[in-house]
Chains A and B, each alone.
Chain A
Amino acid sequence: MTGIAIFGAASAIAQDVARLYAAEGATCFLVGRNGARLDTIASDLKARGAAAATTAVADLTDTTQHAALVAQAKAALGTVDRVLVAYGTLGDQRAGEADTTVMVRELTVNFVSAASLLNLLAEAMIPQKAGKIAVIGSVAGDRGRQSNYIYGSAKAGLGAFALGLRHRLAKDGISVTLVKPGFVDTPMTADIPKGGPLWATPAQVAGDIRAAMERGAAVLYTPWFWRWIMLIIRSVPDVVFRRTRL
């Protein structure tokens, strides 16, 4: 029986990943900020097949809580077979530029906090000599752009951290997968006009994440075509790039 710990369990993508594991009878450990919402998700996962679902309310920006949370995950799951780190904030770039405190908070949530948690999870999982971790990064981390480089740089840092951790844990039989979703049609992106082939549903992205995590892939672009979009964006020469409004 698989035990999966999900940090940031209330996001649409995280819920859909959890449902895929629940359908196979997994045990779930769900971490988020809102206890009532976590309870709603836990009931849903149990009805959809989870052997058990326990919840922990935490503000993950508070890194002093991380060690206790990881211990709690281990106690709830027995072995931590799968981990999904899915939390983050898509902050307002302009607000961060105007107020350094806002910027530092954005960097802390999306990078420092996630790195702290992953470091502790790695320590807990190494003795198991098995396990698979997926970390949600972003295509925004592939090249700094004026419209979202605060968020993007935190996700770039997280990406380098995840791949470094992957390198370190390879000898212990633990894989780390860096996930880079493109545009996903979720309540979090409700204010962005949709339509067209670039938008994916959370269920499609969740299916890709589960498959990539299970095969132990290093990097997942989801949907797949974002690999090629980002290749082009990374390849645009600076003289051209700095004239764009991307």
Chain B
Amino acid sequence: MQSFHPRQDYLAWGRVHRFTHHVARPAFADELPGVLAARGTMSLLGSGARRSYGDSGLNADNALIDMRGLDHVIAFDAATGVLDAEAGVILADILHLLARPANGAGTWFLPVTPGTKFVSLGGAIASDVHGKNHHGAGCIGNHLLSFRLLRSDGATVTCSPDENADLFKATIGGLGLTGLIVSVRVALKRVPGPWLEHEEFRYGDLNSFYRLAEESLADWEYTVAWIDCLASGAELGRGIFARSRHADASTAKPAVAAVAPRIALPVDLPSFALNSATVKAYNNWRWRSRSDEPVRHIVPFEPAFYPLDAIGQWNRLYGSRGFFQYQFVVPSPHDKDAIRAVLTEISRAGMGSFLAVLKTFGDRPSPGMMSFPMPGTTLALDFPNTGARTHALLDRLDDIVIGAGGRIYAAKDGRMSAKAFQQGYPMWQSFARQVDPHFSSSFWRRVTEGAG
């Protein structure tokens, strides 16, 4: 049977890029050598849950190995919290497994989780995902015991901090370019139960955000702010600050892990549905609906960590042209100035983002050489794809970010220039030496263009 089949329907979450891929769908790990052998002259890239936004998980006119069938848990040790699983396992499945009484009913938790539980383990490593607890926990790469990497020459390499350490560091945040991540051993985190103590309140300007972030460092494991990015002048940077920490289970009844979205968008909304007027009205309403005083609740982790997961296919809100997510980090101590400059530019352009998320990163380094976070501040924004106008704004934002010594998150990018990438990731050339000669991606070809 032929291994690769042409497909047009492999899109990233942002749905901007429309490519033909030659897709293989192994169901068991024993099929992988045959899949590699069938690549012909095509370059290879592993594909997971396709929750990265741009083209880092795409490989136009070349091969994708869809790893969703390799979703077997190999072992979970409820005494030590060590999970060994194939790379196609998604975080939602792990959460489901951890909710079982035999596994401690919510006494183990993901050490790091991004804003959606529908990412695969392999994808989480390839993007070295971070979460709202970055200031304490770092990235997922900080919690990996080891993983198995299949190279295009057929060799399976076990990578850990002590074994094949160069490949270990290159693969974490390595965008799938160092080979195929087959299975992963990750150390989970012990928590008192499946509940969170959660606070939310609004604040008035950027200085208040930094004060709250600083104050919350010691006592709150998870912090994040949603900001109203169309607010300007004295109100620039105003938003809603949210912070949470794991709560004692004795205060509440056990959480039910909702694996599937409760509702879903079956079709694309028309592209005018999210325009500057609706975004402005929504942001204004949301800010005004919150209290100035902290309101504390005991909540299950699902709505606190994964609010958007309740709406399946929310990416269709942006219509058939798709959207860009723009996430960058600027290093301290001048991060506040750069954030202010970016917000001023967005406000001036009148192109507000429906979702704008602001967070300070801590100083715990990830082992990943290409890992995105650095000590400073990160801001994530969504922009509907309106063509040249969107590109022009994002190019102006790149200048501010790169000028401030920052970088753009590759897992969310679908448009940055080679120059912006190479300046943001000065280690990229030493990383390139670890890239598998027969692995590539649309992203990688774009950002290494013109480089020897």
Contacts and interface: CB of A to CB of B under 8 A. Distances in A.
B86 to A, nearest CB: 8
A49 B5 contact: no
A41 B71 CA distance: 10
A100 to B, nearest CB: 23
Interface residues of B, number: 27
Interface stretch (A55-63, A67-75, A165-173, A189-197): A189-197
Interface in A140-169: none
A186 B27 CA distance: 9
Contacts of A12: 27, 69
A34 B31 CA distance: 12
Contact of B9 (A25, A37, A191, A194): A194
Contacts of A236: none
B266 A48 contact: no
B436 to A, nearest CB: 23
B5 A191 contact: yes
B28 interface: yes
Interface string B149-177: 00000000000000000000000000000
B93 to A, nearest CB: 8
Contacts of B5: 190-191
Interface in A173-230: 186-187, 190-191, 193-195, 197, 203
A44 to B, nearest CB: 4
Main secondary structure on A side of the interface with B = loop
Most A CB contacts (10 A, CB to CB) among B28, B30, B76 go to B28
B189 interface: no
A36 B27 CA distance: 13
Contacts of A43: 72-75
A231 interface: no
Nearest to B96: A23
Contacts of A10: 27-28
Interface residues on A, range: 20 to 34
B43 to A, nearest CB: 20
A142 to B, nearest CB: 26
Contacts of A187: 25-27, 69
A36 B266 CA distance: 39
Interface in A23-53: 23, 25, 34, 36-37, 40-41, 43-44, 47-49
B432 interface: no
B97 interface: yes
B69 A191 contact: no
B342 interface: no
B8 A37 contact: no
Nearest to A204: B260
B296 interface: no
Q: Kindly name the residue among B72, B75, B97, B266 whose own CB sees the greatest number of chain A CB atoms within 10 A.
A: B72
B120 to A, nearest CB: 14
Nearest to B31: A187
Given A23-B96, A191-B2, A36 B73 contact: no
Contact of A49 (B23, B75, B102): B102
B266 A40 contact: no
A112 to B, nearest CB: 25
B24 interface: yes
A194 B7 contact: yes
Contacts of B24: 190
B76 A36 contact: no
Contacts of B349: none
B395 to A, nearest CB: 33
B72 A41 contact: yes
Nearest to A195: B9
A49 B100 contact: yes
Interface in B55-105: 69, 72-76, 93, 96-97, 100, 102-103
A129 B217 CA distance: 62
A67 B23 CA distance: 41
A36 B100 contact: no
B24 to A, nearest CB: 7
Nearest to A194: B9
A47 B30 contact: no
A181 B23 CA distance: 24
A49 B28 contact: no
A25 B2 CA distance: 38
Nearest to B28: A37
5 contacts: A37-B28, A40-B72, A48-B93, A187-B27, A194-B7
Given A37-B30, A186-B69, 9 more contacts: A10-B28, A12-B27, A43-B74, A47-B76, A47-B97, A49-B102, A49-B103, A187-B26, A203-B260
Pairs A-B, 9 closest by C-beta atoms: A47-B73, A44-B72, A187-B27, A190-B25, A195-B9, A187-B25, A47-B76, A191-B5, A44-B73
Interface of A: 10, 12, 23, 25, 34, 36-37, 40-41, 43-44, 47-49, 186-187, 190-191, 193-195, 197, 203
